[in-house]
Amino acid sequence: MLAHKGTQALTTFRLELRAYLDSDCDMMYANWASDPEVTKYLTWNTHTDIQATRAVVAEWTQTYASPTVYHWGITLKSELIGDIAVVRWSEDHEWCELGYCLCRRYWGKGIMTEALSAVIRYLFDEIGFHRVQLRHDNLNMASGRVMQKAGLRYEGAMKEACRRKDGTWADIILYGLINE
């Protein structure tokens, strides 16, 4: 059985992962929400106005009352630079799926691998999930590489399972890891 504890703060070598605060809107908007390169393969659209960021942050901060919400802001020396969250999960089957994104200035420094590894350890060791999984667009090689570096294994490809923002079809690549 899962022992839900919600979005506890997590510390890694370089990063602090913590719940969002209402005051995070400016940094989130500037660092990734307004950047079309970051949102290119994400399900949500680039924010063109900070009001959109304010609305989602206000929604997220409300959700922390629930112990089943796992949604962290990634901070480096107090700057909010990214996001990592459980985007769906099964209580009965004890699996969860994660999603993430990072400010473009910090790409390629191993930051998301570090964040993902810490989150997976927390979800396995503290919450008791049996399995974690992630998916990525077949063109989003950097994301697949993060999954590999965090120890997940390739499990297959769903052919043309997602329509990209530009109208073309993406194969969706699935990675998973069992808590053993």
Ligand X SMILES: CC(C)(COP(=O)(O)OP(=O)(O)OC[C@H]1O[C@@H](n2cnc3c(N)ncnc32)[C@H](O)[C@@H]1OP(=O)(O)O)[C@@H](O)C(=O)NCCC(=O)NCCS
Residue ranges in contact with ligand X by CB under 6 A: 38, 41-42, 100-102, 107-113, 136, 140-143, 145-146
Continuous segment of H or E residues that includes residue 58: helix 50-63
Minimum CB–partner distance for residue 82 and ligand X (Å): 7
Nearer to ligand X, 57 or 74 (CB): 74
Nearer to ligand X, 10 or 146 (CB): 146
Report the DSSP beta bridge partners of residue 11.
16
Continuous segment of H or E residues that includes residue 54: helix 50-63
Nearer to ligand X, 25 or 102 (CB): 102
Nearer to ligand X, 123 or 170 (CB): 170
**Are the C-beta atoms of 83 and 100 separated by less than 8 Å?**
yes
Minimum CB–partner distance for residue 43 and ligand X (Å): 9
Strands 131-137 and 95-102 come out as parallel
**Are the C-beta atoms of 89 and 67 separated by less than 8 Å?**
no
Nearer to ligand X, 48 or 62 (CB): 48
Minimum CB–partner distance for residue 65 and ligand X (Å): 27
Minimum CB–partner distance for residue 1 and ligand X (Å): 29
Minimum CB–partner distance for residue 125 and ligand X (Å): 21
Contacts within 8 Å (CB) and 24+ apart, 47-50: 50/25, 50/26
**How many Cβ atoms are within 10 Å of 170's Cβ, its own excluded?**
20
